[in-house]
Amino acid sequence: MIIKFKRKNVVKLLFSFGAAAFLTACVNDQSSKTYENALDIPVSQEMIAELTDPPFVPTPVGKRKAKKLIVDLEIQEREGEMVNGVKYVYWTFGGTVPGSFIRTRVGDEIEFKLKNHPDNKLPHNIDLHAVNGPGGGAESSFVAPGHEKIFSFKTLNPGLYVYHCATAPVGMHIANGMYGLILVEPEGGLEPVDREYYIMQGDFYTEGKYGERGLQAFDMQKAIDEKADYVVFNGHVGAMTGDNALTAKVGETVRLFVGNGGPNLVSSFHVIGEIFDKVHVEGGDLVNDNVQTTLIPAGGAAIVEFKVDVPGSFILVDHSIFRAFNKGALAVLNVEGEENEKVFAGEIYEGIYLPEGSVIQSMPSLGKKDDKKEEVKALSFEEKMKFGKDKYMATCVACHQANGQGIEGAFPPLAKADYLNEDVDRAIDIVLNGKSGEITVNGKKYNSVMTAQALSDEDVANVLTYVYNSWGNNKTDVTPEMVKAVRNR
């Protein structure tokens, strides 16, 4: 088939092709200039790189000149907690998940010292996505326990980049926590902001299901099938909640360096109650304005910035939302300062609206009694407190927070809570059967929904005993018999 064009359309088409070719040439020319300019940047003196643990970041580079930057990083295999009562052996860069944050600028010459602690069991290496070279440095950094490798590279492209272990099986090393971020700032540095934080998402695969206590081993088949038991920020559930929540003040601009170690899942990063003023898409030069949720691929990163206008608790989530509230991908930014009713006035009216009836949602049932695993029963008050805390952190922490403070205007506090302390049977009934409608706790009204929890009598007794004996409550010791009596009413 022959396609005929009118003369005018041919001119337009040729112009379009010419403009596209010109723009492409300009972009390519700009990229090559950036590359060549970086190669030509001279370095002055040596400097030891400041490395920081998450969620903190090193001092901005500002207008400093390019340096020979010495990065000294130790690989550590160490046991930690995924969630209370769940132990896991993490493989780490610098002893944390994610690994130490590395901050550089374009033109730096990096002398990288990678050390594998002699107590480790496995060889490792490092692939830095900021490196232009074979394996991102992996081919030059394969190091056995008790040994050290040194390699060097020059930072040519500004951006926020992931680094990770690339020793076979690569997925297993990443899945055990071997990832982090390296920032290459442009000449003159990034624009100053008031607060900067380091957040990295990762998916973990354990032989036991979510919240199953004890030392959990890595499950290769779950990882291959991409069936994550945990999806978390900064290595474990609750890493940035409670006393470890991020902080800011009204009027400040917050910059988050957000990475996704994977190994499998894409992150839909979102801050509930905020809009990103700027997003450096995939950590590069392209900046999008006024963004609600940004996609961060596995092995990718983004820089997000926003000004906080009102006080409150702002929840950071992967908006693949079951990951946030059921697998751990949740953090909190607490903002202090004066209210601004022009921005957010809060509740101005409350009425009744029940077009579908006042139905309380329920959690999936436990199934047949014969299908349940044998339950571990607490043999002492101390064990009740431990098991109760484990269950609380696995089930309740997203809404009621690590220290029982709740979320202002959304979920009532459990700490020093008059509503809780007045009636233990009512509290048991709410856990078993759920609760909707308005309640008053410590003089403040809340009107949310508490879903019925699919917990055994033992679990309910443990978690309520933990709550009643924490945070200034009345120290009630709830027994399985008390729970059974309420259940059988």
The answer to whether 165 is a known ligand-binding residue is yes
The answer to whether 178 is a known ligand-binding residue is yes
Please give the full DSSP string across 274-303, using - where no structure is assigned: --EEEEEGGGSS-EEEEESEEEE-TTEEEE
Over its C-alpha atoms, the chain yields an Rg (Å, rounded) of: 26
Interatomic CA distance for residues 461 and 387, integer angstroms? 10
Please give the distance of CA 119 from its chain centroid, rounded to a whole number. Answer: 29
Maximum C-alpha span of the chain: 90
The answer to whether 164 is a known ligand-binding residue is yes
Q: CB of 302 within 8 A of CB of 279?
A: yes
The answer to whether 319 is a known ligand-binding residue is yes
Q: CB of 244 within 8 A of CB of 59?
A: no
The answer to whether 129 is a known ligand-binding residue is yes
- Classify residue 382 by its DSSP letter: H
Q: CB of 404 within 8 A of CB of 470?
A: yes
Tally the residues of the chain. Answer: 489
435: how many CB neighbours lie within 10 A of its CB? Answer: 16
CA torsion through residues 370, 376, 379, 383, sign:
negative
Interatomic CA distance for residues 297 and 201, integer angstroms? 10
Provide the annotated binding site for Cu cation: 124, 129, 164-165, 173, 178, 319
Annotated binding site: 124, 129, 164-165, 173, 178, 319
